[in-house]
Amino acid sequence: MRAIIIGAGEVGFDVARLLSMEQHDVVVVDVDEGALETVRERLDVMTVRGNATSAEVLREAGAERADICVAVTTVDEVNIVACMLADRLGIETTIARVRSDELSNADSVLRAEDFGIDAMIHPEESAASEVERLIQRAGASDILPLADGRVQLVGLRIDKDSPVVGRRLRELSLPNVPFRVAGISRGIRTLLPGGDETLRANDVVFVLSLPKHVPPVLEMLGKSDRRIERVMILGGTDVGIRVARSLGEAKYRRVKLVEPDRERAERIAEHLGNVMVLHGALTDIDLLVTEGLPDMDAFVAVTGDEESNLVTCLLAKHLGVRKTVALLSKPAYIPISQSIGLDSAVNMKLAISREVVRHLRGKHVMSVATVHGLDAEILEFVASPRSPITRDEVAKVQIPRGILIGAVLHEKNAEIVTGVTRIEAGDRVYAFVSSGLAPQAARLFSRG
């Protein structure tokens, strides 16, 4: 496959990196020679300097041979026009990063398809959705619904006093509660573990289970799963507003939002009737404490200043808040945040790049997801008739190292995969795949 990536920033770089690892032909286009130089030094891809709103620049990038165009610059207009040109030049699939809701609202005059855009990605919406999922489970650092919500992947850190420290995975069981430890993040390493792997303190484990079984699984691992009722949100950013609106819809939940700009705070208060909006400086610790920070179940920091997000989340944790979530712009800060005690971190740029990759897979791959701390993709396949995965029980199929079959959806019934599970043609299967092994994983589910 040949892909043209518009934008050599962090998002474009990450998309190009993921595609080049799988031996695809990638061309990165940007007006900034310095950014392109960084791409050339670190990736085995081609680059073209120029404005992607020019058809000639796209032709120079090989538009006539390209299968997909991904526009992820920081300017909506550039992304929209670049995708429109790419569509007119015959590129089959176009994806645009668009912050504005102008093209996605139900009452919008223009639609994405009017510009030849096949998929739009909204950074703030993606980040807000991730925050909301994390708030649903107090004991989890990551939550990802799979199989239309019938399966959940829950990530959590193993505390030093957890009853499972020092125990092998095969020793962990609960009566009538199927679950599977699908991944372990240990330091900078990612493990797709077997039954003999021993859990250690500070491991971040990722467990697959049915939603109704998540509470007992969390309890077994030494975590509580009490309902989050009181939430404080720091920052009236677009992400903060989306999170506040969504969380405030629950009648049992009380949400407070702190915004430093008085006029903006007043406008937010007018639109969010179920949320208490406070005007105050983001660094006014006395205000946060006076407004009940120590009594909160969760604290969410989504300001535009990631240092403030980190510091205030650490303060909240020190005051006894059970769940803290910080919005971080630098991906490198995420492992650091977890090591210094934060529960969860959300990064918009990583969320964008992973969502883009979901559209770049082969026809047997229905979707892709990633979670922070796990250096493996979660791919959703549909098993083809007479594909290798359908020929025997999972334990008897030759599955390459670095690929773990986690869950399967037989029509509407979800099942956590064990060695005796049989996968039938048409089943939707969720596999954990180490970086670079997506093509090998796809062959397991492809006919011939």
pLDDT of amino acid 363: 46
Shared domain check, 183 and 85: no
| Residue 164 sits in the same domain as residue 51 | no
Give the CATH number of the domain where residue 284 resides. 3.40.50.720
Please state, for a pLDDT cut of 70, what percent of the chain lies above it: 88
Encode 120-158: b = buried (16+ Cβ within 10 Å), e = exposed. bbbbbbbbbbbbbbbbbbbbbbbbbebbeebbbbbbbbb
Same domain, 73 and 116: yes
- 205 and 148 in a single domain? The answer is yes
Angstrom distance (rounded) from CA 48 to CA 156: 42
Distances (CA, A) of 404 to 111, 181, 217, 444: 39, 10, 20, 12
Q: Indicate whether 433 and 404 sit together in one domain.
A: yes
Average pLDDT of the residues in 366-393? 79
Structure tokens at 141: 């650092």
- The whole domain housing 14 covers 2-121
One domain, residues 339 and 396: no
What token pair was written down for 24? 């695809």
Residue 46 three-state SS: strand
- Shared-domain flag, residues 107 and 172: no
> Which has the higher per-residue pLDDT, 112 or 46?
46
Nearest residue to 95 (alpha-carbon basis) of 357, 294, 424: 357
- pLDDT at residue 91, rounded to an integer: 93
Query: Cα dist. 200→50, 158, 167, 275 in Å?
Result: 50, 7, 8, 41
Q: Do residues 243 and 192 share a domain? A: no
Minimum mean pLDDT range among 128-142, 218-232, 319-333, 433-447: 128-142
Span 237-285, pLDDT tens digits: 999 999 999 999 888 899 999 999 999 999 999 999 889 999 999 888 8
Do 242 and 200 reside in the same domain of the chain? no
From CA 98, how far away is CA 127, in angstroms rounded? 14
R_g of the chain, CA atoms, integer Å:
23
What are the pLDDT digits (tens) for 197-226?
999 988 888 899 998 898 899 889 988 767
Residues in CB range of 256: below 8 A, 6 or more apart: 231, 232, 233, 275, 276, 277, 278, 291, 292
**Do 144 and 109 lie in a common domain?**
no
62 in a domain, yes or no?
yes
- Tell me: do 382 and 307 sit in the same domain: no
Q: Residue 367 — very low, low, confident or very high, per pLDDT cuts 50/70/90?
A: low
Q: Are residues 85 and 156 in the same domain?
A: no
Task: Say which residue, 192 or 139, is predicted with more confidence.
Answer: 192
The pLDDT value recorded for residue 23 is 76
Q: What is the model's pLDDT at position 303?
A: 93
Residue 357 lies in a domain: no
Taking only the tens place, the pLDDT of each residue in 135-183 is 876 566 677 788 878 898 888 888 888 999 999 999 998 998 999 998 8
Mean pLDDT in residue range 5-15: 90
d(CA 37, CA 31): 11
What pLDDT is recorded for position 83?
Answer: 94
- Residue 140 is predicted with a pLDDT of 65
pLDDT at 371 over 70: no
Write down the residue that tokens 């969380």 correspond to. 247
b/e map of 343-355 (b: 16 or more CB within 10 Å)? bbbbbbbbbbbbb
Confidence bin at 291 (pLDDT 50/70/90): very high
Q: Among 192, 149, 193, 191, which Cα is nearest to 171's?
A: 193
Q: Tell which wins on pLDDT, 339 or 192.
A: 192
Q: Check residues 147 and 374 and name the one with the higher pLDDT.
A: 147
Task: Look at residue 79 and tell me if it is in a domain.
Answer: yes
Question: Considering the domain boundaries, does residue 128 fall inside one?
Answer: no
How many domains in the chain? 4
Rounded Cα distance between 427 and 417, Å, is 12
**Arithmetic mean of pLDDT over the chain:** 86
Whole-number pLDDT of residue 258: 96
pLDDT for position 354: 64
Q: 3: helix, coil or strand?
A: strand
